[in-house]
Amino acid sequence: MPELTKADYIRVGQYVFLKGKWRIHGGEYLEDRLYKVTKADAFSYNKAYVIKQGEQGNLDLKDDLSLYPEEYDTLYEIGVGMLGNGKLFIMLPSDKYYYYLEKQGIIGEVSTTTEIGGFTEEDIPPEEPKMLREYTVRDMRDKIKYTLVNPSYKDEKVVLKFTVNRVKLADPTEEEKALVEQNWNDYVANGILRILRYPREGV
């Protein structure tokens, strides 16, 4: 799911609540599940593309970029930055374009002349890939896809710069669950609990 945020990356000692139906495990959806974070470490990952004049290309975060974890107890928190004269559009589910710059919603097909909804280098600068954040888990219900568009009159090189935070998740104890429920609002306000929402159904 895409999110615009300048919050720090998830760290050990926090709790994560996956709100909504995120994935299939054992043939069933896991829905509205609380986890505690037992480990978190980050690495950088860059991918360069040359987009021809007036053209666009599609990228799959799973198949093309390998940005989905292989283990069930792992969450990838992915900060996305961009270097170059291009526009980045996000699809999730893979047949809908989401835009988060002005308001949440969807747009139709994109082209080199589409103005609304595309992220530029100014929106997601490469020096600090925090603002655009993606979250992926194994067996995620939908694939996240990007469309890179070249609005220029010449070929452009675009570099996507990822900061990937590998987060290990574990089930909290009953005592920990009760403590989180009792202090839910305070934990959210103080960053102890992170709520990650799957895109709403039927949008």
List the chain domain ranges: 2-197
The residue assigned the tokens 């170059």 is: 84
Confidence class for position 64, pLDDT limits 50, 70, 90: confident
The answer to whether 81 and 126 have CB atoms below 8 angstroms apart is yes
Average pLDDT, the chain: 82
Nearest to 107 by CA among 149, 79, 140, 76: 149
- Calpha distance 105→124 (Å, rounded): 19
Query: Amino acid identity, residue 61?
Result: L
pLDDT in the model for residue 37? 98
The answer to whether 105 and 99 have CB atoms below 8 angstroms apart is yes
Q: What secondary structure does DSSP assign to 149-192, as a single string?
A: E--SSS-EEEEEEEEEEEEEEEPPPHHHHHHHHHTHHHHHHTTS
pLDDT in the model for residue 115? 42
1-5, 16-20, 69-73, 181-185, range with the lowest pLDDT: 1-5
pLDDT in tens, 125-174: 988 788 788 899 988 877 788 888 888 889 999 999 999 999 999 999 99
